[in-house]
Chain A
Amino acid sequence: MDFVTRGFQGRPRGRDERLPPGQYLTDDFPVLSAGPTPPVDHDGWELWVATEDGARHTWSWPELMALPAETVTVDIHCVTSWSKLDTEWRGVSLDTLLADVETAADFALVHSYGGYTTNLPLEDLLDGQALLAFAYDGDDLRPEHGGPARLLVPHLYFWKSAKWVRGIELLLADSPGFWEQLGYHDYGDPWREQRYQGD
């Protein structure tokens, strides 16, 4: 650890027993971005899922809206150390989206409008663990938070919950995403503090 700057505390860092190690509480919703907010409207929006043998499934916005949606209340943990408790989201479970997709893949590479990507094991998208979220706190998901629709995988660090999702590529082998190529962990379990490669 670096030497301590006398008198410096920084912004109050709230603790809570529901927080993973090294995390602190925030009440606002910080926006971290690696690029401009892509201009995507509901009309032009499309989601695709591509399997390892080239099969492609797509959904338009009305098709997404026609699927059963659910509301969840979860805690989210950003790798930059803030966590936010009891956040409420509405969206379509990935179990629903992937129900008819035939695949032998073990991994998913999620693609966003604007070029962002993130990788995770396919099984972490299933069994009620992941949502394609289109509403936050009762309102349409705002563009800076990933609207029209973002991934929500709250049991992993929040960079895995890609904003502005446009496609999911199912793969037999893991393929690192935007931050995973550059030192961030391939899995990113906050409870094991898997922030960086090698953690």
Chain B
Amino acid sequence: MARAAVPGGLSARRAWRDATLVERRPETDSAVTLVLDVDGWPGHLPGQHVDVRLTAPDGYTATRSYSVSAPEHGDRVELTIQRVPDGEVSTFLADGLAVGDAVRLRGPVGGWFVWRPGQAGPVLLVAGGSGIVPLMAMLRARVAGSPPFRLVYSVREPDDVIYRDELAAIAATDDVEVRLVHTRRAPEGAARPAGRLQGTDLLTATGWDGGDPPTCYVCGPTGFVESAADLLVGLGHAADRIRTERFGPSGP
């Protein structure tokens, strides 16, 4: 196996490393971006994630996965944490971790739910809640000449939109379209009333009809991903062009 041929760099990748918080950037009332400094970070692709491990004084540990939210940038790793009510790890990361403190981090991992800059063909991104995070890394990795992107982003209410200003700026460029779907409360005067994601939300406005079919990336709470992927299949997207990543149950 290739294992025998792999030098020390690999065990470094596998190991749990220290990641020190250098900056904390509030995104919404309940989401915050953490900028971590990780010595010797090997780099990553948009869509990959890391595992974060916390250890309490009595030896109790808790491990959770978080997606990188920005493209590779030296030793800097950015995560965006959505605070889950009563969540053990998300609330600590969102509120408790102070600049200068360190957590243990493993990664980057996951090579399937990734978009490689340079990858051909249009892209349809479908996000539910914090599922925007890895998709934002993909959007941020676009360069001049990248294929067209379309983002359908489902949130409960207008205040839940993470990366709001940056998404508005991105949406102003020619070949990215951003559509917000509000499930509980839509903004004043919105054309689409609040309601859960439907097939019509996923139809392209600009239209890729006749062109290459898009690769779809669907991410968010497990229930959201199940229904969004079903809608895409119902609209005729080939199953092997739909990539999904389930963040877990969305609670009671």
B50 contacts the other chain (CB 8 A): no
Main secondary structure of the interface of A (DSSP, over half): loop
Within 8 A of A (CB), among B38-64: 53-62
Binding site for A on B (CB under 8 A): 16, 18, 53-62, 88, 92, 96-98, 101-104
- The count of residues in chain A whose C-beta lies closer than 8 Å to any C-beta of chain B is 13
Given contacts A10-B60, A10-B62, A10-B88, contact A4 B55 (CB under 8 A): yes
A142 contacts the other chain (CB 8 A): no
A3 contacts the other chain (CB 8 A): yes
Task: Report the separation of the CA atoms of residues A6 and B56 in the bound assembly, to the nearest whole angstrom.
Answer: 8
CB <8 Å contact, B104 and A7: no
Within 8 A of B (CB), among A1-25: 1-11, 13
A11 CB contacts on chain B under 8 angstroms: 88
- B171 CB to closest chain A CB (Å) equals 38
B104 CB contacts on chain A under 8 angstroms: 2-3, 5
CB <8 Å contact, B97 and A7: yes
A7 CB contacts on chain B under 8 angstroms: 92, 96-98, 101
Task: Report the separation of the CA atoms of residues A142 and B58 in the bound assembly, to the nearest whole angstrom.
Answer: 35
CB <8 Å contact, A8 and B58: no
A-B complex: 7 closest residue pairs judged by Cβ atoms: A5-B54, A2-B55, A8-B54, A6-B101, A7-B96, A1-B59, A10-B56
Instruction: Return the contact of B60 from the options A3, A6, A13 (Cβ within 8 A).
Output: A13
The interface bits of chain A over 65-82 (1 if a CB of B lies within 8 angstroms of the residue's CB, else 0) are 000000000000000010
Instruction: Return the contact of A5 from the options B56, B58, B88 (Cβ within 8 A).
Output: B56
A9 CB contacts on chain B under 8 angstroms: 56-57
Task: Report the separation of the CA atoms of residues A3 and B101 in the bound assembly, to the nearest whole angstrom.
Answer: 12
A13 CB contacts on chain B under 8 angstroms: 58, 60
